[in-house]
Structure formats: C-alpha cells, structure tokens
Chains A and B, each alone.
Chain A
Amino acid sequence: AQSVTQPDIHITVSEGASLELRCNYSYGATPYLFWYVQSPGQGLQLLLKYFSGDTLVQGIKGFEAEFKRSQSSFNLRKPSVHWSDAAEYFCAVGISGGYNKLIFGAGTRLAVHP
C-alpha cells in the first residue's frame, strides 16, 4: 500500500541555521511528490513539487527538495531558516490510476528559536 513517512514529529532549529525535513514514501511507480506548509489556523500552501526530470526542485520561500529514487526519499531543505518558517510541513505523494488523491505524511512541526 502507498504510504508516506515523516520520521520527525517535531524539529527545533535556530534562526539562520540550515534545515532538512525528511520524507520517505512507498509507492510502486514513479511518484508525484509534494511538500506543503501549514501555518497555524491556515490552509495548506504548496511549497514545491516533483513530477519528473531534474531530481533537485526549487520551491517558494527559498525551499528546495531532492528526489532520491534509490532511497525512496524526498527531503526538504532550506539553507537558512527564518522565524516565519515556523509551521507544520507535510510531504505528500500523488496517486493516480483510478485513485486521484494525495496521501500525506503525518507532518513535521518546525519551531524556530531566535
């Protein structure tokens, strides 16, 4: 069955530090992969997506993610975190072929210390 695992429930970093949020997926075919961010009381905002091609994708707000097929991973990175990045981050895999939906990971809550 398809699944997405985000191993870290909470992560705390200092402002200006680098960030990596982990995501592993289980899916038989080449997946469509997404990262979303949810600020408190808000909906989900799409940060970036991977469909095919270059395995390093750039997104909004200075985020990037790298697709590694051999590791079934799609980790999100940012070189320097800002206090406004504090939010919950969700990795998702797009399932097609009759099930056109996103399967989400449990999310990683990011706290940023000044």
Chain B
Amino acid sequence: DSGVTQTPKHLITATGQRVTLRCSPRSGDLSVYWYQQSLDQGLQFLIQYYNGEERAKGNILERFSAQQFPDLHSELNLSSLELGDSALYFCASSVGPTSSYEQYFGPGTRLTVT
C-alpha cells in the first residue's frame, strides 16, 4: 500500500458525459501527478500540482482539467468523454516538486467510456 488513495476504483460512463476522479496523496506529500495508461499510448504524464498550484503540464487534452485543494487532495475532471478516453488513470504523489523526488502511485481508476 503506497498510501495514495484514488476513488472510484472503476467508472463506467457514456460518451459525452463528464466525470471526476479523486486522489488523496500520501501524508506529507505536497506534489500530485496524474498519469493516463492506455494500451496504445502506454503511461503518459498529464499534469502536476504542487502545494495547490499547477507545476507542469503534459499531454493533457483541453477537455481535461485538474486542481489541487487546500487539503492537498486532487481531482481530475474529464468532460465530453470519448471512447478513446477509456484508460487507467493513476495519481502519484511526492514530497517535493521535482522529479528527483520519488513518486508513489495510487491503485488507479479504470474508466470505461461506452
């Protein structure tokens, strides 16, 4: 158990809908990362927040957004969902803001868009 929690574990929704994925980092970690894992793209970095502020952005679609709240939990919002958004979404956390700090991954949320 990494100490990173993600909810829900599974999510099934229809195209065009909007969903919110939630992540609670390990106690003491200030940085939260979101990754998408799909069969065709592999593991892709989406976005990072550090202590409430956006720190780095990867290949995140405009339909996707995220935020980190004062209690440091983070939410990833996916809207206008398409079939291709079906994937496993991971949250990771680390103590510091740079990649020199180890990232600990949550169990993931499996999103299925039908």
Q: Using a CB–CB distance below 8 Å, which chain A residues touch chain B?
A: 32, 34, 36, 42-46, 49, 51, 90, 94-96, 98-107
Shortest distance from the beta carbon of A83 to any chain B beta carbon, whole Å = 22
Number of B residues near A (Cβ < 8 Å) is: 27
- B2 A95 Cβ-Cβ under 8 A: no
Total A-B pairs, Cβ < 8 A = 60
Query: What is the interface of chain A mostly: helix, strand, loop, or mixed?
Result: strand
B55 at the interface (CB under 8 A from A): yes
- B42 A94 Cβ-Cβ under 8 A: no
Q: Given A43-B105, A51-B100, A101–B58 Cβ distance below 8 Å?
A: yes
Q: Using a CB–CB distance below 8 Å, which chain B residues touch chain A?
A: 2, 4, 31, 33, 35, 42-45, 48, 50, 55-56, 58, 90, 92, 97-100, 102-108
Task: Tell me the bound Cα distance from A45 to B90 in angstroms.
Answer: 12
